[in-house]
Amino acid sequence: MKFSLFMIMCSLIAGDCTTPHQMDTYYNDMYSCLNAGYEEALNKSKEIGKSDINEYHIYMKFVCVEQEVIIPPEKPV
């Protein structure tokens, strides 16, 4: 089993959150997924910037979900 990271952006002003966005990377354990979630949230906050975060009261949420990942075999060249 692997863990998928889902990021969610919310605004207290709007009283709403975005639909969860699944990140592309899969993680081997909950610990790795959680640490990636904190890093992604910080990076997104920096990308949005202080002004917009303060104006719209934006905050990030995330969740790690354990799921079975089936990776198809590579096609022969």
pLDDT at residue 38 is higher than 80? yes
Q: How remote is the C-alpha of 18 from its chain's centroid?
A: 11
pLDDT at residue 3 is higher than 90? yes
pLDDT at residue 71 is higher than 80? no
Q: Which of 49, 46, 54, 60 shows the shortest CA–CA distance to 8?
A: 60
Q: How remote is the C-alpha of 36 from its chain's centroid?
A: 8
Across residues 25-46, what is the average pLDDT? 97
pTM for this one?
0.83
pLDDT at residue 73 is higher than 80? no
The pLDDT value recorded for residue 77 is 72
What distance in Å separates the CA atoms of residue 57 and residue 50, rounded to the nearest whole number? 10
Across residues 15-30, what is the average pLDDT? 96
Contacts of residue 62, defined as CB under 8 A and 6 or more positions apart, other chains included, come to: 5, 6, 7, 8, 37, 38, 40, 41
Domain ranges of the chain: 2-67
Please state the length of the chain: 77
